A and B are shown apart, each in its own frame.
Chain A
Amino acid sequence: MFRILRRAAFAALFALPAAAAEKVTTFTLDNGLEVVVIEDHRAPVVVQMVWYRAGAADEKPGVSGVAHFLEHLMFKGTDTVASGELSKTVAANGGSDNAFTSSDYTAYFQRIAADRLELVMRMEADRMRNLKLTEDDWRTEREVIIEERNQRTDSDPGAIFSEQRRAAQYLNHPYGTPVIGWRQEMEHLTRQDALDWYRRNYAPNNAVLVIAGDVTPDRVRDLAETYYGPLAPSPDITERVRPQEPPQLAERRLSYSDPRVSRPYVTRSYLAPERDSGAQEKGAALTILADLLGGDGQTSFLARKLQFDSKKAIYTSAGYDGSSYDDTTFNLAVVPAEGVSLAEAEKALDEAIDEFIEGGVDTEAFERVKTRIRAATIYGQDDVNRLARRYGEALTTGLTVADVQAWPDVLDAVTEADVLAAALEVFDRRRAVTGWMMLPDRAEVMQ
């Protein structure tokens, strides 16, 4: 019965346009600030995001964590706004605000009633160029980021292991340095380090403003001209050139044991190309490859082989995030079933990958992935915050608005042959890091 229904569903969905359905307007101010407006008039809510093309991978050596440290200090006030006042003002108006830092960008956002947009645009524009840092503010905040590292990384064996693996994955590129920073460098960050970073990176010609929700492009243009328009561009913004990876020729293997680990597991990451502007095809093929291998807990290839058939694993995953300025990674993980060793689990993973490449792509599974991707353009319209994030992230990782809008079509055009070609290219052990997470008393010897 369901086979018939499924075919009917395919036919219907193939009639859907794959292209992005959101209503987007873009323009650029004279000082170089790029503006993206995404309209959604269903609720009287708006979100403002400012994204800087500056993340942890743009830091100089020796001051790891400074991008994230400054993100915290950006809430400390300006000539006209007292320390902490921005967040208090947003809250007093019923809104919420926060910020996040990654390797490639630092972003700030507020979500607020649509009639309060002007208020948050005035304050966000103000701190783009007028930040003030007092002695008390920066010293206390350095303690806070160290507590954040304690909480997020040092209290979590999985996070420690992930940090070590990433450091091994990148031989030369700063993606090997954690965004939060290495502790011994964080402990010596200064007010001057933060200000140097701020002055070098925070300017309208290094930023993207995304406004999404119940607002018109004309209104945004007026407000952006009023508040962001007068800000001087920085003459120091140059093309982002980071140290690149040399040819990776030697496989790396790591093992980590920690008494706080409950279940051992195996990870494998491969250096992989990111989505490139105007050439997203390889990124699209890798996105679909990850979905086929690990996208669904019941039907993905690794789940079927390792969890259902051989029962060597209780959990498997495959992941690829192409939104990255430089080379990214394709990641696999296996949590072995009780009584299965890490060596056996790793062997089973490798055999499954070989089998996938030899056997070719299952056509029904391939069509299901495509169907889900098309439906995602419908479901995606329900969450304007996520749409806003997608544009901000793309525009600060080397992509354009046209790339974002073309992405559903690029995914839709991927063929089974493209997926296999991408798999053959990416699964090269010379560019791979294999990790074994272990309990101290159950440690195995790694080959």
Chain B
Amino acid sequence: MNLDKLIKMANQIGDFFEAMPDRQQAVIDVAGHLQRTWEPRMREQLCAAMDGSAAARLKPLVRDALISLNKPAAPVGKSTSGG
């Protein structure tokens, strides 16, 4: 898939949750949204690109969410804003 497009889409999600007062919850919600609505190959491609230049183009909130997705016990199942 087009990585630029995935980065743009992920940052759009970040734009929405960035306004939330609880940043920790916002990270969980971004991760939850990605996990509940993105097909795995899209998430995997974006996560894989985190090692390269993509990381710098992602909002910090989205970066943190993607990092949380790579952890074995990501709390995405408890997301309050899944799709």
A binds B: no
Residues of B participating in the A interface, judged by any CB pair closer than 8 Å: none
